[in-house]
Chains A and B, each alone.
Chain A
Amino acid sequence: MPYCYNCGVKLDDLADTCPLCGAKIPIKKDSINKLGKEKLDENNIIKEDERFNDKEIVNLKNNKNISDFLYPAYESSSEKQRITSILEIISVSFIISILSIVLINFILEGKITWSKIPAFSIFFAWLIIASILVFNRKIFFSLLFIFLSIFGYLVSLDSLNKKIDWSINYALPILAFCVAVFTILFFISKKTKLKGLNLFAYYLLGGCLICFEIDIIININTMGHIFISWSKYVSFAVVPISLFLLYIHHRFATKLPGKRTFRI
């Protein structure tokens, strides 16, 4: 293999000049490329390389301390552990809020009066958040628990004057229907592959159904029979808009830009 007398480097067999300094190289025909034929003891090479790599890795591992992270062990913790943590934080903050409100009420008035309402509200809000976290991804159980929590909350509010007025006749059927509509809408959104204006239309229609139901429940309780009053006017506005949105979606869904274009 030819050498460059100027740079001292080996060159290609057929090189006539050095690619580094441009010096002319006399060509020797018998020069052969030995690079491909040279093999060294493999164990020796591996040891040398391991020395190089291991030194770096050991240094790095010594410096590593997982508690240095702002969000330590996030990746190493299980989902259950993360949820427990979040639940713990929420529980503590809610308990502090309830205690503060009750204490302020007691200091100001010498007895617990108005603080019952915010305390109940915070407690049931905690129940709802806890149900979402505890029944993580079990949407049916979450909704059931949310329904029971809200109903419990409404009954509690109703019973503040020590008798049940409206919670059974009004709140229970309206709430049950709302939860049922939201459950159906949730499953529709989950099953829909091409999401867009169609979902908005479904939610509008869901809202319209809820209006009908509220109208009917109020009329049954006040007039004693099924009667549709104001909700039909809601439907006159909502149904055409929903149909228009569904038309737009199914006509242009694949041509309209997605979230990817507008992601901030």
Chain B
Amino acid sequence: MKSFKMNLTRKKKISFFLAIMKDKKLFSSTLYKDRLGHFYILDNAGSIMPAVSDTTYTSLFCFTCKLKEDINKDKLQIALEKTIKRYKYLYCKLKKGLFWYYLEEIEKKPKIEDDIEPACTNYSIFSSPLFRVRAKEKRISVEFSHALTDGTGAIEFLKTLLFEYFSILGYNLPSTNITIASSPIDNEEFEDGYKKYYEQNIPKPDPLPIAFHIPGKVLPKHTYRVIFGYCKVDQVLKVAKSKNLTLTEFLSAIYIYSLQQIYFSIDESKRRRYSPFIAFETPINLRKIHPSKTMRNFSLFLISRIDCRMGRYSLEEIFELTHLQMQTELKKKEHLKMIKRNVASEYIFALRLVPLFLKVLVLRSAFYYLGDGLITGFLSNIGKIDLDPVYFEYIDYFDFIPAPGKASKTNCSVVSFDNKLSIAFGSRTEEKELERIFFSTLVSLGIEVHVTIKF
């Protein structure tokens, strides 16, 4: 590690000093103390979620693990209590302050719920803990609100829960890549990574136009349709490799292709009502680029887009475009611009002084024009669940269900374990055309897909 002195120029030293003087919390921690004890503030990405969530668009995403034998709920309950002690900064309730939301730890023991309702819906962000654990037969599901954490945080929690559960069952399994419940808590686990890497003197990224949104009737309140497609990882990787793409790029390109097909399937006279820009988001885990152990949100989106005014793109053209755009967006400087755009407003003192109810009103109306409305859909690939191969004996597969989206009504999440790739489409529309084109395209490329549906 280079010394601090060597890395610092005089100008940067001054900036660094001024930054410390300006805000002692600038560098990250979400933990605050007052006379009633401690509380957490929401991270930059999470702070918008309470304002734009309701009981249907819950901001909940779900990880499900299907075991090879039936679950013992009593033992899972003990494992959950043990896990919560380690991740107490996740077992929180959302509260309203005068200017901001904040999180308070919950003293009450968490309970395993029955997995009876549709995933990720029928949940109030204000009256419940910000995550819930559900179990049924062989399935354990953990649903986390994006106000609290992102996919990486949730999967770390689930891995700990599984390890503790198997330990209680008497299985002596390795803890490689798992945070065990007895390990000490690192303060970095609840830092705000965005603020940590925020740079003041850089430009914001260029604004994006409103994107195309899938037409169609919306499902009734509190319903969320999830269509799962299961493939073999090696089959998909083989095809992706033949196109010189990563798995994420490959699936994103097929998604964009499917969206394009939907756009051009709209009657030409009605098409002009829709934006011709298909903008597609792919979340990336910033922890791999900007070192952080945070369990709060720390991801950003890579945007790939095509302009349908240029006519139809072939699948091969979309493969190439997606690859190039994603590789460009992966550059670190591009993230810093996005972080700047998201975080900058939090440092404007006048905006901080605006009461919460006004902030909520503005955020609700601005969310479409600044966030949700700018994308057609997203594909979130959490990657391979890095558990020791010994776990293959006990775990069948993992599923990852995306949070319901308001403007981008259909979204996709991907997770792989062992040789099983689970692709889940969460949708709030009655139409299933997008999913049909996506999976049919995979089949046409020689990939076997097993499709199943869950409401």
Contact = CB atoms under 8 A, between A and B. Distances in A.
Q: A and B: partners?
A: yes
Interface of A: 1, 4, 7-12, 15, 18-21, 35-36, 38-40, 42, 44-45, 48-49, 51-53, 55-57, 59-60, 63-78, 81-82, 84-86, 88-89, 193-196, 253-254, 258-264
B330 A263 contact: no
Contact of B39 (A12, A64, A260): A260
Interface of B: 1-5, 7-8, 12-17, 19-20, 27, 32, 34-36, 39, 41, 95, 97-100, 102, 104, 196-197, 199-201, 227, 229-230, 232-234, 237-238, 241, 246-247, 288-289, 291, 327, 330-333, 336, 349, 352-353, 383-384, 389, 396, 416, 418-420, 432, 435-436, 439-440, 443-444, 448-453
Contact of B439 (A7, A64, A86): A7
A258 B36 contact: yes
Nearest to B331: A63
A25 to B, nearest CB: 11
A45 B8 contact: no
B15 A70 contact: yes
A11 B16 contact: no
B420 A35 contact: yes
Contacts of B353: 264
A264 B416 CA distance: 42
Nearest to A44: B234
B97 A262 contact: yes
A7 B289 contact: no
A85 B98 contact: no
B440 A11 contact: no
Contact of B201 (A44, A70, A194): A70
16 contacts: A1-B450, A7-B443, A8-B443, A9-B229, A20-B435, A20-B436, A40-B232, A49-B416, A71-B12, A73-B7, A76-B1, A78-B4, A253-B35, A254-B36, A260-B104, A263-B99
A40 B419 contact: yes
B3 A81 contact: yes
Contacts of A20: 227, 432, 435-436, 439-440, 451
Nearest to A15: B452
A59 B100 CA distance: 38
A225 to B, nearest CB: 44
A129 to B, nearest CB: 12
Contacts of A86: 17, 20
Nearest to A253: B35
Overall SS of chain B's interface:
mixed
Given A56-B246, A56-B288, A63-B331, 17 more contacts: A10-B449, A10-B451, A19-B227, A35-B450, A39-B419, A51-B237, A55-B246, A68-B332, A70-B200, A71-B16, A73-B2, A77-B3, A85-B5, A260-B102, A260-B104, A263-B99, A264-B349
A69 to B, nearest CB: 7
Residue with the greatest number of chain B CB neighbours at <10 A, chosen from A8, A66, A193, A254: A8
Contact of B330 (A52, A56, A67, A81): A56
A77 B7 CA distance: 10
B54 to A, nearest CB: 24
B224 to A, nearest CB: 15
Contacts of B330: 56, 59-60, 63
B418 A45 contact: yes
Contacts of A76: 1-2, 4
A84 B234 CA distance: 54
A31 to B, nearest CB: 12
Contacts of B289: 60, 63-64
B332 A264 contact: no
Contacts of B247: 52
Contacts of A84: 5
B204 to A, nearest CB: 15
A206 B353 CA distance: 33
B246 A52 contact: yes
A93 to B, nearest CB: 9
B105 to A, nearest CB: 12
A260 B7 contact: no
A78 to B, nearest CB: 8
Contact of A12 (B2, B19, B436, B452): B452
A89 to B, nearest CB: 5
Contacts of B104: 260
Contacts of A77: 3-4
Contacts of A38: 232, 419
A1 B98 CA distance: 58
A84 B5 CA distance: 9
B41 A263 contact: yes
A261 B197 CA distance: 27
A56 to B, nearest CB: 7
A40 B98 CA distance: 56
A73 B440 contact: no
Contacts of B238: 48
A203 B98 CA distance: 28
A20 B67 CA distance: 27
A48 B233 contact: yes
Contacts of B288: 56-57, 60
Contacts of A261: 97-98
A48 B383 CA distance: 12
B451 A195 contact: no
**4 A-B pairs with least C-beta separation:** A259-B34, A77-B4, A8-B443, A19-B453
B210 to A, nearest CB: 29
Contacts of A262: 97-99
B265 to A, nearest CB: 14
A127 to B, nearest CB: 19
B14 A70 contact: no
Contact of A260 (B3, B97, B246): B97
A85 B234 contact: no
Contacts of A21: 432, 436
Nearest to B15: A70
Contacts of A18: 451
Nearest to B334: A63
A89 B13 contact: yes
B55 to A, nearest CB: 25
A22 B27 CA distance: 53
Contact of A7 (B35, B233, B419, B440): B440
B436 A258 contact: no
A72 B8 contact: yes
